[in-house]
Every structure is written in structure tokens, then in C-alpha cells.
Structure 1
Amino acid sequence: MGYRISTGKKLWSAPPSGCALEEQAGGAELVTISVCGRDSKIGKRDPETGKLSWRYTAPTGTTDAWIVSASPLVVALNTDQTGYQSGADRLVSLSEGGRVQATWETHEEDPKIKRTRYVAGCGYTQPGCGAVVVSDSTLYMATLANVSDANKIIAFDVKTGKEKWSSKPQSDDAPETIPVQTEGTGLIVYPAASTSHGSEVVRLTGDGRPKRLMKREDGLDTQRPEVDMLNSDVRDRPYYADGRLYLHYSGSYAFSNRPLTVVLTTT
């Protein structure tokens, strides 16, 4: 349903015919994912009328779909039929008219290697993908820590899918490097903490050159309670502002014995 914020008046109620479930994401555009029988359909609604201007149907067999970015429109899909993939196995960039512009596979290019290459952060029960950052023209993803080119941040052109640049990891033993958010023409990234390596905050320039903004000391005692606040789902995206890194864990403190929020700063 669509409502007028100033008055609360309902503007429209127009669920797609034959669809049982719908998720929406806003911003510059109002984008919707509808579950229609066995199909997942992505479309763009008119905020005033609720009418769909176009629909894109995900490949047959798609079991999950996520809206990564509303503008430009990037969606993540789980099309895997083997049961191996629990998150997204591909990301798709859609044009203004709902046509596929670019596709990124999150697993190794060799189909015989059943291993994920990129951290997408698309969890089964969460609405978005916390490890993918999208700007006006660029999509950023990181490689996993256990692949040959581990912990790289790679920038892709949203329209063509081609690689623009890649950054070398700041440390060989960091367990994961997560893109956090864009900052001007640069990108803030978070090489997470491990039991031996202190976490960092790094700003990558428009061509991938790094500038370290923050570094914690190495050693297990120093890393507590930061270790294990992030997992491969990246349910809670880190946030950086005013020289502070904010980490949040939306789980149960009673069972994890970890804090729900940690703020790191240099002062």
C-alpha cells in the first residue's frame, strides 16, 4: 500500500495479480520484489498510483531475491538448484526499463569448484545484502578470505559489469574485508579483526589506492569484543562517520556473550 506522508491518506493498494508476497525498497525509485507462485518478479512502481511500469522475471528456479540498490537498480538472486548456495549466487544490474545490463557470479568461474568467491552478505532472513556497496556508476564487492585473490575490493561498472579496478588487501591474515560506504569518489572499507590481526578502516581513492584512517593493535586481547561481530551474512552493515566506526550485532546477547554495539575511534 502507498500512503501520503503529510495526511496519512491511502493512495493505492494494488498487489500484483497472482502474487502472494511483496517487498519494497525506496530512495530515488520505488522498487518491488514480488513472489508470484514459483517466480520472483522485480518491478518499478509509480509512487503516486502504485502502477508498475515494467516487470522483470528472475530466472526459473530462483529461490530468493534481494534488492541491493534501488537506484541504480541492482538485485541479488539465488538461482542455485543444488542446495549448496544459501545466499546469492549472482547479482544483476537492471536498466530503467527492466532489461539486464550486467551480471556478476559470486562463485568461482570454474563450475567444478563449488566455492563462493565474493562476499555478498545476502542472508536468508534479511532484506538486503550488507557486503555490497553501489554508487551511481560503480558496484563494489570483496573477495573472500579463503580464495586465491583473498580480501580484494573490486570495483565494477554498473552498466557493463566490467572491472574498473581492484585493491590489494591491507593484511594477509585479515579474516574478511567489507566495503562499508562510498565517500565522495572514494570508498570506505573495513578489514575486520581476527584473533591475531587488529581491524582497520581504510579509504580507497577513485582508482583503488588505500589510505589508512584507523588501525587497532594486533593481539587477541585487543580485539575483544570486536572479533566475530561480523559473519558472512553481514546482517548489520558497518557505518563510518566523523572518524568513528560503528559495528552492530542484531543477535541475542544472552547466547553470544558479545556486545550488541561497538564504536571505534582514534581519540
Structure 2
Amino acid sequence: MNQEFEAAIYIIIHFMILYFSLAVNLYCITQYIIGKKLDVERESNFIAKLISIPILYISIRYGVYKYAFLFLSCILERYQSKRIFIICSLGILFLECFSYLGFMSDNEKKIYIFRFDLIKQILKIIQMLSVIVLVIHLFLKGIGIIDIGTVVWRIELIINLFVLISFVIISSFNLTVSSDREYMCVNNGLTQVLLVMDDSHQLKFKKNEDGSYYVSNGEDGADTFVLSINQFEKLQKYMGGELI
């Protein structure tokens, strides 16, 4: 039993390397990372990227993610114990629930306006469904009801990875406002700007010809992506006043 548990943990670690580590590193690179104290926001963002960029580069350059994927793609052939797959399915389900709750709690503290909101919602649904299918298949194999086969398993791994990466990248184009209106982050993929808001730094929006806005707090400024009327009204309502 101990060997089976250790094998299951070993598999789950590879899942965490391939999916969670990759997603977190991409998120840190494509978002302005804010710490608990706003007065050290730039240091928090710098440290997050200082850690994430080398990890992502080294993991890709030296095949860490590739090895993790190849290992996971062969687990149906490598392991014969049914208990291993049952433990793996429950472990992956727990990790997904934990990450989802963390994502939801973070959303409660901020307001997000996404550039590709519809695509993001579709990818989110697909990602959740693909994970559920993967977990169910592992569990069914563990209890001996069905053997999904190596080819189908590898396809599921690839779909999960592709959808997860797409979701993180699509979500990286957003406007983020803290719940206490202390700051706004203008995130445009690899370009991110933090705009502090207080009595002496009121945000003002100037509409550009293409439908985007130039937003400034008097010291710093950035161009947003194109905002729809509904998105701008939502932002204006949340900010509690006229923005132009």
C-alpha cells in the first residue's frame, strides 16, 4: 500500500509540474502581481517575475515540462495497480477544487474587465469539463470498469494542456481594480502598468480613435484595449463617478 501511495504521489507531482507550475509561471509573467502591501507593489511584481521567468525558461529549455508530459502519457502502461489510479484521480480532483477556490477568493477582492471575456468563459468551461473527464477516466480505470487506452489518455492530456495555456494567455488581457479602489492594473499580455489611486491621483480616461482609452492618474498612464460600452459603464459604475 505504501508503494502504491508513493507512486500515486509521484504521478500527482508530475501533474503539478506540467499544469499548475506552468499556469502559475505564465500568470505571474502576464499579470502585474500585487502583494499585500501596496507601498511595495513594484517590488512584489519584480520578485514574482524574477522567480517565474527563470523557472519557465529553465523548465522549457531543459525539458522539464516535456519529461513530465512523457511520464504522464505512459502511466497507464507503467502502472498496473488500480489503487494508484484511484488515489491519483482523487488527488487531482482535490488540487482542482483547491485552485478553483483560490481563484474565486481572489476574484472577490477585485473587479476584472477582460478583453476577450466570452472566449475566456468558453475556455473556462472547456477546461473544467476536460479535467472532469480526465479524473473520471482515471477513477473508472482504478475501479476496473473501463480502460480508456493510451491514445485517448494522451489526447486528454494534450487538450487539458492546450486549453489551460490558452485560458491563461486570453485572461492576461484585462483591467483589474482592487475592491478598495487603491489601484488599477492595465494588463495587456506582456505589457502591464500599475496606476495608484488616491485623493491626489484620480484616474482620468481619454478615448482614443480605435475605441481604446488612455488612462492616467496624473503621474503614470497606459493605453487600455478596446472597451465596449457595457464594459466602460461597468467600470464607471464601480469607480463611482464619471471617468472622462
Could you tell me the TM-score, scaled by structure 1's length?
0.20
Q: Which has the larger radius of gyration?
A: 2
Higher RCO (CA 8 Å, separation ≥ 6 residues): 2
The structure with more helix, counted as a fraction of residues? 2
The structure with more strand, counted as a fraction of residues? 1
